[in-house]
Every structure is written in structure tokens, then in C-alpha cells.
Structure 1
Amino acid sequence: MSDSNKVVFITGITGFIATHTALPFLGAGYTAEDWIARFPVHKARFQYAVVPDMVVAGAFNGAVKGCDIVAHVASPDNEADFLVPAINGTKNLLLATKHEPRIKRVIYTSSLAAIYDPTLEAGKHVIETEWNSITYDDAKVATDPLVVYRASKALAERAFWDYIQDEKPSWAGSTICPCGTFAPPIQPLSSLSALNLSTAFMWDIANGKYRTGIPIMGSPFYVDARDVALAHVRAAERDAAKGQRYLLIGGTYVPGHFVEVIHRHFPDLRDNLPPIDLSKAGYGNFEHDSTKAIRELGIEYTMLEKMVVDTIAYIVNLQKH
């Protein structure tokens, strides 16, 4: 995406977070067959490059040509293939930046999963300087796909920082580490069965799948994807963000909070909902500090109620059309 001055390369553009990330870049004056059809107003400033397999050596070399900023948002979603694609895909993109001296900033989308392991560290104070301790060897033999996922996030982000330390590139890097991310699913969708995992979870609460009980969630934290997207733009533009890591958590929740908001705002969906249960509010007793993004990036976290209402209203409208 570009204007007459700057071009930003966003990986994984058809994905949930990447689509949200593209829009504020476009709104800030940058520009980017299925994706642009969703947002035709930006057609004149959008180009795309197909990268069939980001693990292949040199996969991104051509794609970064002519770019000033890179936002690496793409992430593997196959639980059996987390480790190698996440790590090698990141390394390939970083190596590709050697082929384009115009690049001044690289923003890497990591995750809260790279910071802590809730199964091992219940009650821990979560801040952006922490790392989960799962090793590559641990992940290779793990039977729990969530362990593999957490390892892949930490190891891929470490590869990002190691590259900066070892190669001393001409560009400055920042990482964005969001927790469980929710928002209207504005990415191209073939059907509601193609919803991303977090949005599908919220919609399943609303559509009756969990009428008799909601399964245990992986984390008690939420953040709006629109806040995550804006953090990418601000990190690319602000000098204070150079070399920094940002934890993005909008707040804590239990699924009962989603139920309560849906019950109040969507009376037609009430028969689908399980009983409202806020008894586990404060679930896990986790403490966190995500104010660095407020101070340095100017992020104002979206409240849970708005996040839920906007998301469910968007999906209800999708169903109608």
C-alpha cells in the first residue's frame, strides 16, 4: 500500500488482524481481487503480491521491492505446522529487507502468547518484558497444540530481535503483542464458517452453540483488533517506538460478560444464550500492565461493550445479506 511518498507492505492481508491493520494505514495516507473488492474506495492505492509459501527461501524478496515500511502480520494457522512456518517465515521476511534499502521500519505482530504461559504462571504480573520459557525441543514433543503455539510465537519473535541485534539493519523494528483479539470480521469471508477463531467463539455464544455451557477459554484478556491495527500504524510513525515491544490488553473478561452484553443489546438472540454467569470475574487472578501503548502510541483501548456490540451487529448484518 502506498501514497506518493511511502509504501507499506502488510503480510497476510486477507486475514482478520491484517485487514484491520491495512485500513488505518490507508486512512493515514498510505495505500495498499478479493480484498480490494471489500474496500473499493482504496483501489487506486492498493497493490498485492502473492507469496505462495513464506517458508521458502527468498519468498518475500520481490514483494518488499519499493516498500518503506513492513508490517509482518501473517501467521500460520495450522496447529501441526506452527513452529517452522512461524520462525522461518519471519527469518525469510527479514532477510528480504536486505534487498530494499528504502525500508525504514518493520513492525512485527507477535502475541501475548510469546510473553507468558498461563498454565505455568497463574497469578503472574504480565508485562511486555516477560517471555514464556518453552523451548523448541519442548514444543517438538508437546502433545498440547497450545504449547506448540506459544512456543512458536516466542521463538519467532526472538528471531526478529536476534536479527536486529546480529545484523544491525538500517531499519528500526517494533513488536506488537496483542492478547485475545475481537472485532467485526471485515476480512473477506466465504461464509460464517470461515470466521477467525476468536470471532467465531463470540458468535457461537450468540448463535446458541453454547446454550448449555461455554467451554473454558484460553486467556482472561481481550483487546479490540481496531486498537491493535492502530498500534501498528503508530509504531511505524513514532520515533519512541523504535526498538520497543508493546503488550496490548484492553481488559479482563469471562464469557459471561459477552453473554450479558448480547442479552441487553440483541433481544432477538436472547433465546440462544446460556445463563449469565459473572461469578468468575477476575478469572485466574492475573494482573497486567499494558499502559506503555497508551503512553507511547496514544492507544485508547476500546471498551468491552462496544467491542461486543460492534462485532455481533456486524455478523447479524452479514447473515441478512
Structure 2
Amino acid sequence: MSKGLVLVTGLTGFVATSTALAFFEAGYSVRGTVRSADKADVWILVFPQYKDRFEFAIVEDMTKPNAFDEAVNGVDIIAHIASPTHWNPKDNEQDILLPAINGTKNIVNATKLEPKIKRVVFTSSFAAVVDARNPPPAGKVYTPNDWNPITYEEGKASAEPRWAYQASKALAEKTFWDFQKTEKPSWSGSVIAPIATYGPPQQPVKDLKGINMSNQYFLAMANSTFKQGVPAIGFPYCVDVRDVALAHVKAVELDVAKGQRYLLVGSPYKPEQLVDILVRNFPMLKDKLPEVDISTVDITPPFGIDTSKTTSELGIQFIPLEKSVVDTVSKLLELAVQFGAI
């Protein structure tokens, strides 16, 4: 018997797929939002064991008013994950800011139509916590109380897409909290804020171009793109998608999580550590990677992040860096063979 029906927005994405699977494994039924029925059909073909507890709702454009009104009908829980993540927008406002903010407005407004809803978890980002435009002060330790102060206008006008993305995440999350303050809904809300998210991709893809952006980093390492040196990417920390998915389940099951914000941040890392892990575990990739001497690398992160609230209240024990990297690359190599890329 199902524990309840969970609406997972953006079902076919990297984080949403893993989150939907975590809810299935925890005993829930899942309704995923997709842009077409074909996408839902392809998705459930990969996970036939959950077919009896799966349904979908078509949301072609989450920015349109009332976009989620039908999708919320009969659901008990919402995991709002859908949000644009890309670095090549034609227009910061239209491609990044408005989809994130208006999509959030539409999902929370839709909850007024379904009194059954008990819990809503919003997937934010560490980008809503830290202002990456400015180096943190020495000794800074980020906590769930920190906020990125970037404004809508700064995100809209920025020539750097990353700042537009940061603004979209911070402002969308504030929209989520503001709704709870002003509307005082009957449901309780929680926020999950993950940092750069790696882990084995489980979402259906047609080719390697369909792999999510963060895992493209590992593909580039495996195909010699970084032979002359692996660049840093994002913040010097990462988290495994399976921890992020589990946190969504815990956030809607535990009373302590009501009204709370959780940072999902696993291991600090340097690019040289990733190379070292790959060479030791995938010797066939050695010639595609730069030579590194890990003993000479200072792996001390430039700032700290306090995740004690996540571990103590949600009970998340973060997957170690090496396991996350090995599992991720194993899956990517499997897909590369499947698509004839190697």
C-alpha cells in the first residue's frame, strides 16, 4: 500500500529522476510532471518495477499561470525540482529568471486547490546561499542562515550566466518562503539546497549530450578534453545525487524538517583528487588525463560549510567522494559503450 502520492516536477531531469526513485523505494506513489506523454512513456520504460505506482501530468510550460493546477489534484506531497540550469541563455530574464521564479509561484499557488497537501519540499541550491561574485572572508563558514544578496536586476543585466542562475535560485527560494509567510498554507515547507551535484545519472537519455551538466565534467575528463589540466568547476565541494534524493524523502517525512532549510554538501575536493581517483580506478583512462602528484596538492577548502543540521536532523551520512566519483564514471562509461562513443 502506498504511503501517499508525491508530485515530482521536472521528472525527467537528473535530480528529479533520482528523487522520484527515492520516493518509490520509500513506498510512495509518484506523479511526475513532463512536457509530453512520450517523455513519460520513455521514462517509465526504464523503471517498469514502479509502473503500478506511477502516473504523470503534462506541464508544457511551468511559467504560464495555472500551469500546475491540474497536476496537484489528489497529491499529498510536492517535490518542486524543475528549474532551468544552463550557461548559454539567449536572454537572462526569459530563459533563467522568469522560469525559476514564476514556476515557483505557480506551484505554490496551485496548492490552494488541493487541501490534501501536507508537505512541500523546494529544491534550491547552494547558489542561493553564497555570493560567488565576491570571495568569502577568511575563515568564513556558511550555514543555512546565509543568503546570496544578488538582486533580480543584477541577474538580469549580468553578462555572466552563472550570476543569472544564482539570482534565479535565490529569488525562487525567497518566493517559496514568502508564500508561506503571507498565505499561511496548511502544508509545511522545507528547502533542500545542494551544491554541485554528481552521481550516477539514472534519467533516460538518447545520447551523451543528454547527460546533465555537472556530469559532463566527468565525460570531458574521460575523453581527453582536459588532458593538459583539469579545471575547477563551481565551488570546491560536491554532493552525490543519491544523498540529495534521500534528503527530499527525509524532509517530507520528519516533523523536525518543517519550515527548515538544509544544505546538501558532501566532500570538499580539488580537480587533482578527481584525476587521482580516476587513474586508480579506471587505468584505461590514464592516457586521457594529466599527470598529478596528489601528495603535493593542498586539499584544504577556501571556506567552510556547516552541514551539521543536515546530518543531525535528516540523518544524512554523505556518500564519500571516491565512491561518488567511481559510481558516476562507471555509469558514464556504460552509457558511452551503449551509444558507441568508445
Q: How high is the TM-score relative to the length of structure 2?
A: 0.90
Name the counterpart of 2:321: 304
Cα gap change, 1:281/1:190 in structure 2, threshold over 3 Å: closer, same or farther?
A: farther
Q: Secondary structure at the match of 1:285?
A: coil
Render the CA deviation track for 1:186-228: whole Å, top value 9, x for unaligned. Answer: 1011101111111110221122111112233221010000000
Higher mean displacement: 79-88 or 256-265? 79-88
- Seen in structure 2, the aligned counterparts of structure 1 residues 128 and 280 have a Cα distance that, compared at 3 Å, is farther
Distance 1:238 1:5 in 2: 14
Q: Which one-letter code corresponds to 1:56 in the other structure?
A: K
Assess, with a 3 A threshold, how the Cα gap between structure 1 residues 280 and 218 changes in structure 2: closer, same or farther.
farther
Is residue 2:22 matched to residue 1:6? no
Does the aligned pair in 1 maintain the 2:268–2:301 contact within 8 Å?
no
Residue 97 (str. 1) matches residue 111 (str. 2): yes
* 2:226 counterpart of 1:214: no
Instruction: State whether structure 2 residue 42 is matched by structure 1 residue 28.
Output: no
Residues 266 and 58 of structure 1, relative CA distance in 2, 3 Å threshold: same
Change (3 A) 1:283 1:149: farther
Q: Deviations along 1:157-212, whole A, 9 cap, x unmatched?
A: 00000000000000000000000000011101110111111111022112211111
The answer to whether structure 1 residue 18 and structure 2 residue 16 are counterparts is yes
Q: After TM superposition, list the pairs within 5 Å mapping 1:47-196 onto structure 2.
A: 47-78=55-86, 79=89, 80=92, 81-122=95-136, 123=138, 124-196=140-212
Q: Which amino acid aligns with 2:69?
A: N
Work out the CA distance in 1 between the residues paired with 2:209 and 2:270. 24
Displacement of 1:140? 1.7
Q: What is the aligned partner in structure 2 of residue 293 from structure 1?
A: 310
Q: Does 1:42 align with 2:50?
A: yes
Counterpart-to-counterpart distance in 1, 2:99 and 2:62: 7
Is the contact between residue 72 and residue 111 of structure 2 (CA under 8 Å) also seen in structure 1? yes
Q: Secondary structure of the equivalent of 2:55? A: coil
Query: Sequence identity, in percent?
Result: 48
Give the Å deviation of 1:256.
1.0
**Aligned residue type for 2:78:** V
- Equivalent AA in structure 1 for residue 107 of structure 2: L
Describe the shift of the 1:94–1:277 C-alpha distance in structure 2 as closer, same or farther (beyond 3 A).
farther
How big is the shift at 1:284? 5.5
SS of the residue aligned with 2:107? helix
Counterpart CA distance in 1 for 2:237 and 2:216 is 16
Q: Is the 8 A contact 1:125 1:288 kept in 2?
A: yes
The total of aligned residue pairs comes to: 319
Cα deviation, residue 283, structure 1: 6.1
How much does 1:300 deviate?
A: 0.5
**Unmatched 5+ stretches in structure 2:** 31-40
Report how far residue 291 of structure 1 moved: 1.5
Query: How far apart are residue 232 of structure 1 and its match?
Result: 0.1
Alignment of 1:232-311 (within 5 A): 232-276=248-292, 278=294, 279=296, 281-282=298-299, 285-311=302-328
Equivalent AA in structure 1 for residue 314 of structure 2:
L
Measured in 1, the distance between the counterparts of 2:320 and 2:282 equals 18
Deviation of the 1:138 alpha carbon: 1.4
What SS class does the counterpart of residue 8 from structure 1 fall into?
strand
